[in-house]
Amino acid sequence: MRLLDAAASDLATHLARNGRVPWGRALVDDVREAGLTGRGGAGFPVWRKLSAVAEGSAPVVVANGAEGEPASAKDHTLLVRAPHLVLDGLQLAAEAVRATTAVVYVPEGLAAQAVRAALAERAGWDALPVAVVVAPDYFVAGQESAVVAAVEGRQALPSDRLTLTVRSGVHGRPTLVQNVETLAHVAQIARYGPEWFRQCGTAEEPGTFLATVSGSVRRGGVYEVPHGVPLGELLAQAGGPAGELRAVLVGGYHGTWVPAADARIPLSRKALGSLGAGVLVALDAAECGLAVASEVLTYLARQSARQCGPCLNGLPALARAMSDVVSGARPEQVARLADLVERRGACHHPDGAARFARSSLAVFGDEIACHLRGGCAARRTR
């Protein structure tokens, strides 16, 4: 059963739908054959991280449920609706790497309550006790190095790590940090096998992913779809556009804009470069794309860790430059600053902001031309 079909908030229903944890599987082999990649945004092959962590001594495994981006709700939905599926995957990953510590990292609220209730039901049943660490509610708190810092009891801020977390993470121990959706997929691959997992998706990107759809659609929410599904088909599942669309933001605030005319484009990394954490925001034609881009970049600048030059100085300057474009300035300064901050930060936050800024300039070229003339291509502005 796929994730949302298998969802059950209580242990009895979960066991009736999914059965017990399938201990003793050759999990690394299964995950490699399944082609599972991380669902937190980076899309890294999961089996590689499992293999690397398993080589170390006394590993730590962390289920990362920090969901700091305002447009994303899929991790929250999964933890509330299917906490046992995530915990099954966490236990199986811990067994595969011979971990001695397991942690769920989740924001306080309904998701944390669901996890704690599920852990209480599983008391004495799991192979490894699980601790809950509260994730702060800000954008960069879910980055891998920030997760390590939080589990160690420090402030959840990303850092420029010279050693890979899989080699030296929490208190110097090899650490597996996996998104909660990824771990839920691990649980079902262990139950049903890699061939079952590959029945959905594409040959290059098998399986399903959880997509959070919001903006100008009739039924915003979280949907589970195969990799490679056309953009328009996912929008149709969300009830279709609520009006004429200008573009769709794919991949969230670190993502890229897809013009509404490209509704047939497949939702895959091969086609789009990245799906991020599966966030899609539909922009109505009545909205000014440049104004929205300015708001997002202002938000990203405020949400930075402020630990390196690109975040401390570059992102605020980038946000001001986009605001100037909204006011009628030429866009060259935005492009120049995007080049300056990219690949120079202590984490990937500046890279995501630069990608979003460039995409905004590319897709909203008609808006730029109108703003240079003192007008706006949208029927109204924000």
Number of domains in the chain: 3
Decide which of 171, 197, 223 is a domain's last residue.
197
Q: What's the Cα-to-Cα distance from 203 to each of 26, 228, 272, rounded to whole Å?
A: 22, 10, 16
Give pLDDT tens digits along the chain (382 positions).
799 999 999 999 999 999 999 998 899 999 999 999 999 877 789 999 999 999 999 999 999 999 888 899 999 999 999 999 999 999 999 999 999 999 999 999 999 999 999 999 999 999 999 999 999 988 999 999 999 999 999 999 888 767 899 999 999 999 999 999 999 999 999 999 999 999 999 999 999 999 999 999 999 999 999 999 999 999 999 999 999 999 999 999 999 999 999 999 999 988 988 898 899 999 999 999 999 999 999 999 999 878 888 888 999 999 999 999 999 999 999 999 999 998 888 788 999 999 999 999 999 999 999 999 999 978 654 4
CATH number for 224? 3.10.20.600
pTM of the predicted protein model? 0.94
Decide which of 147, 170, 197 is a domain's last residue.
197
Per-residue exposure over 48-87, b if at least 16 CB sit within 10 Å of its own CB, e if not? ebbbbbbebeebbbbbbbbbbbbbbbbbbbbbbbbbbbbb
- Domain membership of residue 203 (yes or no) is no
Q: Are residues 242 and 112 in the same domain?
A: no
Q: How many CB atoms are closer than 10 A to CB 217?
A: 24
- Domain membership of residue 54 (yes or no) is yes
**Domain extent at residue 174:** 3-197
Q: Are residues 51 and 71 in the same domain?
A: yes
Nearest to 119 by CA among 147, 65, 83, 89: 83
Q: Are residues 9 and 151 in the same domain?
A: yes
Q: What's the Cα-to-Cα distance from 370 to each of 245, 291, 329, 333, 377, rounded to whole Å?
A: 18, 13, 11, 18, 6
Q: Are residues 39 and 107 in the same domain?
A: yes
Q: Are residues 295 and 279 in the same domain?
A: no
Q: Are residues 236 and 312 in the same domain?
A: no
Q: Are residues 186 and 301 in the same domain?
A: no
Q: Is the separation of the CB atoms in 119 and 87 below 8 Å?
A: yes
pLDDT of residue 347: 82
- Domain membership of residue 133 (yes or no) is yes
- Domain membership of residue 202 (yes or no) is no
- Domain membership of residue 382 (yes or no) is no
Q: Which residues contact 127 (CB under 8 A, 6 or more apart)?
A: 23, 91, 94, 95
- Domain membership of residue 279 (yes or no) is yes
Cα separation, 342 vs 325, in Å, equals: 20
- Domain membership of residue 146 (yes or no) is yes
Cα separation, 84 vs 104, in Å, equals: 12
pLDDT of residue 380: 52
Q: Are residues 72 and 169 in the same domain?
A: yes
- Domain membership of residue 95 (yes or no) is yes
pLDDT of residue 161: 67
Q: Are residues 27 and 175 in the same domain?
A: yes
